Amino acid sequence: MKLAELEDYLRHQIPITETMGFQILKAQTDQVDLFVPLQPNRNHLGTAFGGSIYSMSVLSCYAWLFHQLQNQKLSGHVVIKSGQIKYFSPVNQDFNSICLAPSPADLEKFLSILKQKNRSHISLKSEVIVNSEVKCEFVGNFVATL
């Protein structure tokens, strides 16, 4: 799946993301990197709204997992089951939300269970980065079904 196709899919399936102005910079096995402009996601203080940060953190993980399913030629659905975020410092400019791939063993286990039972879950992590500084860290549990 090409970046533009993945981006179009996300914007079509999750309409609120259209107004958030994200762009997928990278979608590979090791990570998904979303660029997120501050302007449409700012709060009254001129920093990124916590809800936008959370949403983009979830979206980068969702995009990574959906992309992996596509690469495996698996047609399924992805949802978030639970998530937790830690905000370390204000995000006062454009930012990146980067989903980091789980260990190969965790991914292999997830895919094996998914193929056997048509349902599996996996824990994914993303970071919000500004100028190489981690501003937030998100960990979520995602479920895929076939």
How far apart (Å, rounded) are the C-alpha atoms in residues 70 and 77?
11
Domain boundaries, the chain: 3-145
How far apart (Å, rounded) are the C-alpha atoms in residues 10 and 18?
9
**Of the CATH numbers 2.60.40.1190, 3.40.50.2000, 3.60.10.10, 3.10.129.10, which one belongs to the domain with range 3-145?**
3.10.129.10
Cβ neighbour number for residue 17 with a 10 Å cutoff: 20
Dump pLDDT digits (tens) for 10-59: 999 999 999 999 999 999 999 999 999 999 999 999 999 999 999 999 99
Helix H or strand E encompassing 126: strand 119-130
Max CA pair span of the chain: 49
* Confidence (pLDDT) at 1: 77
How far apart (Å, rounded) are the C-alpha atoms in residues 38 and 46?
8
The pTM is what? 0.96
